[in-house]
Chain A
Amino acid sequence: MVFLKTAWHALKKRWHTLTDTRYFWPIFLMAGLAFCVAVDTFGFVDLYLQLILIYLGINIILTVSLNLINGYMGEFSVGHAGFMAVGAYVASLLTVHGLPAGVSVNFFFPLAILVGGVAAALVGFLVAIPSFKTRGDYLAIVTLAFCMIVKSVLENIDAVGGPRGLLGMEKLTTLPWVFFWTVLSLWVIRNLVYSNFGRGILSIREDEIASDLMSVNSRQVKIIAFVVSSFFAGIAGGLFAHALQFINPRMFDILKSTDVLIMVYLGGIASISGSIIGASIYTILLEILRPLGVWRMVLMPLMLVLLMIFRPHGIMGMREARLFTPLRDLATEKLWRQKKEGAPDATP
């Protein structure tokens, strides 16, 4: 046992010296992108598996962006599917009806996704406003209402197909694009969390009154959190629409939000690595358990119940893998050691 433990620690140390270099992420990400492009071009991974990977990426984007609100900021939003719907519809309308003449749809696609994200971010800005006054359960009701409003508005606009939905999108969501947007969302949200604004977001979770009294502009912080979160939900919506090539309002109801909530609380609140783990387990397990049919919908919630009993914060709740901690945050530790060694004697 002792031997195993030392071996494990040695391995962990090796791993950390590898990941703590500034070259680790660039090389790893380049390799990942190269792999995705290769899969997309030569198709040596079968299409079913590719589709699962695409959904996995989309789910990671959704999970990490909802984690910003529910995990880091400690609010309870159930409106994530609403933001996703806005992104999905805007991006789809652009590629189906808004394609400028003479432009290849392949080039237009990233722009359409981006506009979908921006549209969702604008809606997120509006939803942030009631969050100034309401908290906890009340904000959950507000976001629930928001989700229902989006759904019924979409159902009643004939131009977007009403309840029948929208089709005619080309299959533009490819593995490299999903990889790109997933990495971008993780990177942006990590950077945000490990900044002044991120600390503001965390302080709102801990004690909103105290944070206001410590000069945190809580309105500004909430707006930033909601805008960033809904932006990426919109991006995920756009990617989802162009992977499935068909959307209707029913896809974006409260159940979709629940899926994302499960992934957040499964992986762990307030954790980037947790978001990835949660989304991966949920997406892959649902596929593996497919042969079980209806029983899979009994097994998954059962797993969740057990998790809540034994690990209420989720697998990686309130913790972060060193891999996802910015190097400069690790440098803080070094600064602290230096100060301790060379610190002049302080008065009481």
Chain B
Amino acid sequence: MNQSVGHNTKKIALALSLFVLSSVALAQKSSTDSIAEYRAMLQDGNPADLFEAKGEDLWKKARGPKNVSLEKCDLGKGAGVVKGAWVELPRFFSDTNRVQDLESRLVTCMQDLQGLNAEEINKTPFGKGEQANLTALATWISAESKGMKFNLPQGHIEERKMYEAGKRLFFMRSGPHDFACATCHSQDDKRIRLQDLPNLTKNPGAGNGFGAWPAYRVSNGQMWSAQLRLNDCYRQQRFPYPLFGSDATIALGVFMGVNGKGGEATAPAIKR
């Protein structure tokens, strides 16, 4: 009897240890491989498609107080040229005398061409009103450069100054946690929890990381623009709130984009 109890206990112990082992294996699968599988599965039907369609429609539609479309907007390659514009942004624009990223440039066009109020758009929270339209526009415009290689211009001195300022901001440790962008994004093959971190100081990380946004975020079902991506990085860095289209955010875009030269544009990507 004692022997049989002992035998049963052994059996239970064995079953339990197998269960523990298999659940560890399952957990390992669910936490790493499955994320990749899930993303691959979603690539077939990236919800970003819907934002792309909305963005294209917004580009062509007469809107705003002046009731005109954005089809004459100069994104850097001449009025109305969309294809290939995104892989050369941010860049210097002589009419505004500023280096601008895609989103801040679109705001300029919405004001100049359509008569919308740039200051109001800049102050609108992400995902609301004209900001939601802006994200859709950025999604479509970036998609029009999908598969192209990053080639940000550095010919103008303001573009080179922005690169240097962006580099300094990238490495700027501050706030209660002493975090810089570089704390998480200046080494190869590192993770936060299970999330892989691109090294944004060089390729392939810079091209992969910078080149993926706007992206559709599965975890919250939202389309995130590059500005929102940076905004949330700064939140997690425990910094104050970066102003929409501010020079610091654009300088960081120049730093990452130039580092990503030759990398492939994958936006609009799909993220966890």
Note whether A and B form a binding pair: no
Interface residues of A (CB under 8 A from B): none
Interface residues of B (CB under 8 A from A): none
